Structure 1
Amino acid sequence: MCQDLAMHRVVVLALDGVIPFELGIPSRIFGEAVGAHGERLYEVIVCTVDGRPVTGGAGFTIGVEHDAGALAGADTVVIPPSRALGPVREEGRLPAPLAAALSRVRPGARVVSICTASYVLAAAGLLDGRPATTHWREAEHFQRTFPRVRVDPGVLFVDDGDVLTSAGAAAGVDLCLHLVRRDHGSEVANRVARGCVVPPWRDGGQAQYIERPVPQPSRTTTAATRAWMMKHLDRPLTLSELAAHAGTSVRTFTRRFRDEVGMTPGQWLIRQRVERARHLLESTDLAIDQIADRSGIGAPSSFRQHFRAIVGVSPAAYRRTFQLGT
């Protein structure tokens, strides 16, 4: 957990044609983050390339108090999407004023794109050879335009350390919450989520939002069974048992579950169990073996394997970084 990020400065770069919803996400999420004594953890300011107002993508003008000089003092730079990306999207190059603005970002600052602002990062060369995502509708075009980027169209966001990208619209909320969690742990991030009335973590990726044939209407969903599963993560759960709880056949339950959540019941269970393990690692001194048992993943070796696959680090390394009070 980063203890030295008091008043971490987030600078949001609003481009002409900026989409207002995504423009407001950083201020809403980071502005809600406070410490144990109510102290603000982030300062969020908005700038434009030249300090002048920009047209919003919804028929009104947005005025700001800062120009691109603000980027030089940013710890994190966030670029929301714009409806006027023109040459960036079609030619894969930055207009000179935008390139000059981005050159002010200091080495070591985090750079974040929301939705199709990933085109800006790619055109600046920041994504060459790196994993990234963008809105699923743009994924193929994005990959053709920037073949050196390792595009993953199936996830809500990609954290590659100092460069982070998110999928469409609300995935920017997911990514900003992830950064709060990364900086200050799950307790602060969960408080932010509750204050904004959004989930602290969304399951699945973009697959659950990609257009597909509309299924026949049904009053039966797997939501109640998912809630029941959450209460029984610490014990083995079979597909037959889950289908019986939902009152369907195994085949029907599996199909409905995948349609609603974007992954299989088994994949979803593993993610929920890893999420419980993350909480236990942050908030308790339980041994790794005990956490493996309480999270329901089973043998410690299996637990470590699944945890590393999903989180990217070992349970022990995660605890060293995020345990409360460290």
Structure 2
Amino acid sequence: MVLLYVFAAVVVINCLYYFLFSKFSFFNAFEKNTSTAFPVSLLVCAKNEAENLRKHIPLWLKQNYPYFEIILINDASYDDTLEVMEQFAETDARIKIVNVENNEAFWANKKYALTLGIKKAKHMRMVFTDADCRPASDVWLQEMATHFTEDKQLILGYGAYEKGTSFLNRLIRFETLMTAVQYFSYAQCGIPYMGVGRNLAYTGDLYHSTNGFMSHIKVASGDDDLFVNEVATKNNTAICVAENAFTYSLPKKTWKTWMLQKKRHITTAKLYKTQHRLLLALYYLTNFLFWPLAILCLVFLDWRLPLLLIVIRFAAQWIIVGKSAKKLKENDIIAWIPFLELFLVFAQLSIFISGSTSKSTRWK
């Protein structure tokens, strides 16, 4: 019976997390500030991204927003990145270029490059994306900017990945979906803990209030999530989940490159505030324990009660995560949810074990 009690406790905790996630699943967008079009600076840090810049700079320039500049940051690239930036800057005065050269103290450090870009920005409100990200529409910048108010100084957006048919593609999009469901839900509950640099906005006042990235400047990753973890509060954070405010980028195409990317992210998660680390750890632990405990209960106990618990847990998951997937336009992975979760749980365990001893100080 102890086994059954433990399994029941795990299922209850799982369902409590899905109840928390329902804060996002059933979220109705708040009224946006459409009375004022704040001038904004769009910042893009690029390292060896010449081809992506050729494709995406025209999309950023086409944004239907009256007052914005684009700060293109060349982070010590050795391809044609700087030349591409200069070509576009010659034809549009809204483009400003920051050319970053490596130095001994901050060699290949994205946060150092972003710091120089932020110093160049002339507008207090700033929107951030990556060079490999395309906006979902011509009103992406407008959607993000209209969430700024006197109180809301940090806007969390959704950075999606382009759809494919491979299992790896679905797994990456499922992991991205679940990450978004968590950080949007926690923000809705008043305990925001992270955002993604592919689609993020904040004010210069908020940036300077904590001396920018200085508290974690030596950590390779974290210009997005560690910064948000440090400055976000229930009062200054808003979420933007309109479909036309998404950004899209190409996901990793091989298991090796995806695993390496996830290992880098581990270096930042362990630096989150204690409250956030405990909440995230409990979620992943109970997700992991659910699977072996479910098998043990079905094999060694009367199968009827364990099966009922399994059905309840999967029903809660399909309703909450499925609704979130529809909201974030990831409908095609809903039928795959149990299989993707099973694989992701054990993939994350492998990544954590192998990545916990890895160290890196470069972002690319």
TM-score (norm 1): 0.30
Q: Which has the higher helix share?
A: 2
Structure number with greater CO (CA < 8 Å, separation at least 6) is: 2
TM-score (norm 2): 0.28
